[in-house]
A = this chain, B = another copy of it.
Amino acid sequence: MNIVALAGGVGGAKLAHGLTLCHSERSEESLGQSGEIPRHSAARNDTLAVIVNTGDDFDWNGLRVCPDLDTVTYTLGGLANPDTGWGVAGDTFECLGALQKLGQEPWFRIGDRDLATHVRRTVLLAEGRSLTEATSIITRALNIRPAILPMTDDRFRTLVNTDAGVLEFQDYFVRRQWQPVITRIIFDGAESARTTPQVIDALAQADAIIFCPSNPFVSIEPILTLLPSPCLGEGAGVRVAVSPIVGGQALKGPAAKMFRELGIEPSAFAVAQRYQHIITHFVLDQLDRDQESAIQSLGLRTLVTDTWMKTIDDRARLAGEIIEFIQSE
């Protein structure tokens, strides 16, 4: 089964990680006791590609920082900081401290090991590689098997129009801790940016497309904006979205707050409604069981389960349940 996941940062990375755990379990099973590789090897048939939002990317001291790409990379590479979800586990902040002594305001906390990724990526981009190539080089060096695909190699910047003015995304998200009230989200560069051949290929080969429980407005929407419509049309196979809203709240980040500020009551139903014309299946949390029939009335098949990924086992369990759900037609 070829799976494509659409992901933003932490929530998306966790589910993508769960999918790799499922896949590898399934791969081992399919090898059988003898250890012989079957004719159609699991590695060949069970592919995972994660298409990642790059609207949050920005330049930090001349270095290209791609927060969502890196969160997915570190999570799949087993390097992620389990406490924050972003950054590298056990990272130190010596360079940042020294930059602070040189007068820099340290609101974006880049650790020393994390920094290496940005340095390497910036060099690769300066050498003329695309972001897709740079990401592939970095993920291969970290022995990550799934393809981590930036949604575009072109410039695309998510801006937020707020009561504090138009803000760059990281200014809004990290520096101001998503406290300004948003009135509009702007995808700067969206008109000229194109998605990549690698994204188009992955979607063309996908048996299932999973919308990870990422922010619908600033993680998933930027990706959708770039996809040619046939990618998510009738022939595209199963498309399942996992609600990032649980009990009216976002498990992380400003998704629920953004729904409210845009005049919509945050709920699993509101998420389903948002995606209804491009998905076939929907996964909601058991806390939102009362919304199941309303979501079904949108024409979607539903799975109600525990969607809160607190542990690594939770990631694998949820991913396994989703795969079973979409195969159970």
Q: Which residue of B lies closest to A140 (CB)?
A: B103
User: A120 to B102, Cβ gap below 8 A?
Assistant: yes
Q: Does A307 contact B (CB under 8 A)?
A: no
Cβ–Cβ < 8 Å partners of A115 in chain B:
95, 98, 112, 115
User: B123 to A62, Cβ gap below 8 A?
Assistant: yes
Q: Does A34 contact B (CB under 8 A)?
A: no
Contact bitstring A288-324, B, C-beta under 8 A = 1, else 0: 0000000000000000000000000000000000000
Cβ–Cβ < 8 Å partners of A142 in chain B:
101-102
Interchain CA distance A101-B120 in the complex, whole Å: 11
Cβ–Cβ < 8 Å partners of A91 in chain B:
94
Interchain CA distance A225-B125 in the complex, whole Å: 37
User: A62 to B122, Cβ gap below 8 A?
Assistant: yes
Q: Does A129 contact B (CB under 8 A)?
A: no
User: A61 to B98, Cβ gap below 8 A?
Assistant: no
Which chain A residues (85-101) contact chain B, with CB distance < 8 Å? Answer: 88, 91-92, 94-99, 101
Q: Which residue of B lies closest to A113 (CB)?
A: B98
Seen from chain A, the residues whose Cβ lies within 8 Å of a Cβ on chain B are 61-63, 88, 91-92, 94-99, 101-104, 111-117, 119-120, 122-123, 126, 137-138, 141-142
Cβ–Cβ < 8 Å partners of A126 in chain B:
62
State whether A120 and B92 are in contact (beta carbons under 8 Å apart), knowing that A62-B126, A97-B113, A112-B98 are contacts in the complex: no
Interchain CA distance A97-B111 in the complex, whole Å: 13
Interchain CA distance A99-B102 in the complex, whole Å: 23
User: A116 to B138, Cβ gap below 8 A?
Assistant: no
State whether A120 and B141 are in contact (beta carbons under 8 Å apart), knowing that A94-B113, A98-B112 are contacts in the complex: no
User: A103 to B61, Cβ gap below 8 A?
Assistant: no
Min distance, Cβ A306 to any Cβ of chain B, angstroms: 35
What 4 A-B pairs come out closest when comparing CB atoms? A98-B116, A94-B112, A98-B113, A99-B116
Interchain CA distance A114-B97 in the complex, whole Å: 11
Q: Which residue of B lies closest to A90 (CB)?
A: B94
Cβ–Cβ < 8 Å partners of A92 in chain B:
92, 94, 112
User: A102 to B122, Cβ gap below 8 A?
Assistant: no
Min distance, Cβ A162 to any Cβ of chain B, angstroms: 27
